């Protein structure tokens, strides 16, 4: 893994990614060749705006060869993109550009000579157009891995994973199933066991407050508890369901490596409160490891040179292991 190059898709052209990428370069943490997929002209203009100058090694994808990669320059695959300002408002005008960047990355990743993929933040509202819940599902579709992936917000002390991702709350209970929880835990366990050499300890939250409701049969009784019991029989280290309002108390968290939640904010909100930017978003179950910084495009901070690169730095360090 250590000698394989890493592909980075810059993502939304008018996000803070160029800034945090350039800040990560200054940290000198890259232990392998990187290939940045971005508009060359846009990247140069954004570097000037941020008062940074780096030499570029332009890569031709049609004649791609590992021997053409440079250690001293930014290896860049140019994707044409028409723009007016170095930093502008996010709109659907960049959709085709982002799509092309991902298509190039996926084509290269099929060669099986890369460590994996990092992508910068994407505007789900504009790029995905309600076709996919998130980039996790988008890449699952592109690699024929629908319903076979899991979103893991990873920190070496504690990770969290929502069983449903970017769904409105009113749809969460309709999209839960015993099979879905079981598959998710299996995917995450395989990752911990075979990539991190660790048997993970799982905690599972309930869906309802205090894991109960006023109906005769709750989701806990119908779905969550049967899934947990099945996994216990299969020798998984898993307990629950736990009430989400007390799950993240320090004394309880010491006993677990991964918290499986039923919906996005149930586990991501407390995780981000605890770790801030010291976490990364990993898509598990793809033919390659895909990681993104655990934050969005952050349009309010565009071009101000005040963004925190911590999450991207942690993503790069993960590939250094």
**pLDDT value for 203:** 98
Is there a contact between 297 and 90 (Cβ–Cβ < 8 Å)?
yes
Q: Please check whether residues 143 and 157 belong to one and the same domain.
A: no
Residue 1's pLDDT band, with cuts at 50, 70 and 90, is very low
Query: Would residue 130 be called left, alpha or beta, if left means φ above 0 and alpha means ψ between -120 and 50 degrees?
Result: left
Q: Are 5 and 140 members of one domain?
A: yes
59-64 mean pLDDT = 88
Q: Is 147 helix (H, G, I), strand (E, B) or coil?
A: coil
Q: Identify whether residues 4 and 126 lie together within a single domain.
A: yes
Cα(189)–Cα(187) distance, rounded to whole angstroms? 6
Q: What is the mean pLDDT of the chain?
A: 91
Residues 278 and 298 grouped into a single domain: no
**Cα Rg of the chain (Å, integer):** 20
Name the nearest CA neighbour of 153 among 7, 268, 33, 1.
268
Whether 18 and 58 map to the same domain: the answer is: yes
75, 138: one domain:
yes
**Which of these ranges, 49-53, 86-90, 167-171, has the smallest mean pLDDT?**
86-90
- Looking at the structure, tell me whether residues 187 and 321 fall in a common domain: no
Residue reference for tokens 């895909």: 290
Please check whether residues 300 and 277 belong to one and the same domain: no
The per-residue pLDDT for range 111-123, each reduced to its tens digit, is 999 999 999 999 8
Residue 301 has what pLDDT? 75
SS3 306: coil
Residues 221 and 293 both lie in one domain: no
Closest CA to 12 of 110, 115, 114, 124: 124
Same-domain pairing of 18 and 145: yes
The answer to whether 142 and 129 are in contact (CB under 8 A) is no
pTM, full prediction: 0.90
> Given this model, what pLDDT does residue 108 score?
95
2 vs 299, residue with greater confidence = 299
Q: SS3 for 151?
A: strand
Which range among 61-70, 92-101, 151-160 shows the weakest confidence by mean pLDDT?
A: 61-70
Q: Name every residue whose Cβ is closer than 8 Å to that of residue 53 and which is 6 or more positions away in sequence.
A: 47
State the CATH number of the domain containing residue 5: 3.40.718.10
pLDDT in tens, 69-113: 998 899 999 999 998 788 888 888 899 999 999 999 999 999 999
Mean pLDDT calculated for residue range 192-206: 96
What's the total number of domains in the chain?
Answer: 2
Do 246 and 158 share a structural domain? yes
* Tens digits of residue pLDDT in 210-269: 888 766 679 999 999 999 999 999 999 999 999 999 999 988 899 999 999 999 999 999
What's the CA dihedral at 98, 33, 154, 190 to 10 degrees? 100
For residues 183 and 321, state if they share a domain: no
> Are the beta carbons of 104 and 29 closer than 8 angstroms?
no
Contact 282, 159 (CB under 8 A): no
Helix axis angle for 17-26 and 40-49, nearest 10°, is 70
Q: How many CB atoms lie within 10 A of CB 304?
A: 12
Print the domain residue range for 205: 150-282
Cα-based distances in Å from 146 to 132, 152, 169, 262? 11, 16, 22, 19
């Amino acid at each position: 893994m250590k000698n394989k190059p890493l592909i980075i898709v810059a993502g939304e052209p008018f996000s803070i990614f160029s800034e945090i990428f350039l800040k990560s370069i200054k940290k000198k943490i890259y232990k392998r060749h990187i290939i940045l997929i971005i508009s060359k002209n846009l990247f140069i203009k954004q570097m000037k705006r941020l008062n940074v100058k780096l030499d570029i090694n332009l890569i031709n994808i049609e004649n791609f060869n590992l021997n053409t990669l440079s250690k001293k320059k930014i290896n860049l695959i140019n994707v044409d993109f028409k723009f007016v300002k170095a930093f502008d408002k996010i709109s659907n005008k960049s959709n085709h550009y982002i799509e092309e960047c991902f298509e190039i990355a996926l084509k290269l990743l099929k060669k099986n000579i890369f460590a994996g993929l990092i992508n910068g933040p994407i505007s789900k509202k504009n790029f995905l157009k309600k076709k996919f819940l998130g980039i996790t599902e988008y890449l699952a579709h592109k690699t024929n891995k629908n319903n076979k992936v899991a979103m893991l917000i990873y920190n070496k002390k504690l990770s969290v994973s929502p069983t449903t991702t970017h769904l409105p709350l009113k749809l969460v209970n309709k999209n839960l199933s015993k099979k879905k929880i079981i598959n998710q835990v299996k995917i995450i366990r395989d990752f911990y066991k075979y990539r991190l050499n660790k048997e993970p300890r799982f905690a599972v939250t309930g869906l309802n407050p205090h894991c109960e409701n006023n109906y005769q049969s709750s989701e806990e009784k119908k779905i969550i508890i049967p899934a947990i019991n099945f996994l216990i029989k299969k020798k998984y280290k898993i307990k629950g369901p736990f009430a989400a309002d007390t799950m993240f108390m320090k004394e309880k968290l010491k006993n677990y490596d991964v918290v499986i939640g039923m919906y996005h904010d149930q586990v991501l909100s407390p995780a981000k409160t605890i770790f801030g930017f010291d976490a990364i978003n990993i898509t598990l179950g793809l033919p390659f490891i895909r990681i993104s910084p655990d934050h969005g495009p952050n349009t309010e901070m565009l071009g101000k040179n005040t963004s925190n690169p911590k999450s991207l730095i942690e993503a790069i360090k993960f590939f250094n292991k």
